[in-house]
Structure 1
C-alpha cells in the first residue's frame, strides 16, 4: 500500500509528541443533515481521526447508547450508500482528516465487496474496522480492502494473548484498536495501569500505533488513557451527547451541534494535553 491519510496523521502526531484523539459518531444520527453538521465540525473541535459508524440492525459489540443511535439513523433513512455520501460531502471541505468506517460485515456483503470498496475509496474513506470478521476470514474483505488502498484496522482485546496476537496483526494497517474492557461499548471505565501494560505488550509485536477505546467518558479518563497509548478513542460519550440534544420529535435542538462540538473540544483537550501535564 502507498502512504495513507492515517499513516500521515499518526506520523505527524508522533513527530509532535502527542497522542491522537479519535472520535466516533454514527452516520446519519439523528438524521443526515444533523450528522453531517457535526461530522464537519469534528476536526476543528480537535478530532485527529474520525470513526464513522455504519448503522446496522444488530450491532452486537455496541452498548445501548450506540445501538440507539443506529436505530435513530436507520429510521431516518440511513443506508450504506448514504453513509458514503456523508463522507463524500465531508471530503469536499476536508482532504486531510482520516475517516475510518466502523461496523459489521452484513451491509458490506449486501452491497457487494468489490462495489463497496470502490465506492468507499471514491468517497474518501481511509480505512475499515469490521468487528465480526476474524483474521481467518481475511480473504473475504481484509485483503481486498488492502489491495484497494484502504487500511484495515483490527481489534485486540484483554483476552487476545501473545499466541493470538500475530494472527490478529498479520494484515492490520493504519493502527491497532485496543478494546480496553471486556464487553460492549460504554459498559465500564478502563483502568489506565492495565491499559498501559496491554499497550506495551501489543507494541512488542508491531510497530503500528495503538489507540485505545471503549469506556472513556471524560476528559480526565481520556488523558489517563492518552498517556499510555498512541491515541484515545471516544464514542459512546459523544453519541450520548448527541442523544441529549434531541427534541420530542428526535430532531437536534437549535444550536445542538455547537454544544456537542464544545463537549468534543473538552475531550480533545484532555487527550492532547495528557503528556504535557504528565511531564510538568
Structure 2
C-alpha cells in the first residue's frame, strides 16, 4: 500500500442529525470526541421498548422527509406519498399524507412536538433521544465517518434500471464521499483481518477497518419505502463480477458489503473535515 494508492479529494460531507431520517450536505463538519461527525445521528427515534424506529424495523419511516436548518437547529418534517402516489399507507391507524400537516420544529426546544408529530404518523408512542457527544452510530465499535466514492455510487446505480446516483447515495447513507471516479476506490481503505489502513482527510487521521455489511434499507426507495425486487441477489452477483483486485480478502466474508467503517485517531478529535480536503493513505498498521 503506497501513499498514492488513493490520492483524491473529499467531494461531499453529509450528516444525518436524526438517525434514520434524511441527511443534509455541509461544507465542513467537526469530528466529535467519540469519532463521529457533529451533528451526525445526534438524535434517534425509539419506541417504548427502547428499540430504534429505523428503516430496518419500520418501513414507513422512509416516507418521513426531513429538511434541516443547522444554523437555527430546526427540522421541517413532512410525509411523502406512497409508491402508488397515494397518501394512505393502508396501515391501520396511520393517517394519509394529506391529513398530517408538515411542520417545522426546534431540535432542542420542541422535542415533545416532534414526538407528537411522529406518533400521529406512526400510530404508536415514540421518544426522540439525544447524545451530542457521540451520537448513535450504526456501528458502535467503528463510530467514525463512513466512506464511499462517487465512482462506486455511479457503478452500483448502473446495475438497477431507473435508479439514479442520488437515489443510491440516499440508500447507502455514507457520511463522506470521495471525489474519485474509480468504482470501489474506498475498498483501498480496508486491509486484512488484524490490519487497519491509516489515512488522512485534511488534517484529520482515521483508520479504515471494515467494508460495511448491508441490511434491507438500500433495497428500498428512500421516499416511499417500496422494495426493489431482487435487489440483494443482483447486488451480490454484480459485486462479485466487478470486485477489483484491491477489494476482497478476509474482511469480505460475503459480498453484500459496501462503504467503509472507520475509527478516528484520538488526536484528531475536534478536527474538521471539509469539501475539497485532500485524501491520502498513510499506511497499514496492525490492530
TM tier relative to shorter chain? under 0.3
Q: Going by fraction, where is helix more abundant, 1 or 2?
A: 1
* TM-score normalised by the chain length of structure 2: 0.26
**Higher-Rg member (1/2):** 2
Q: Going by fraction, where is strand more abundant, 1 or 2?
A: 2
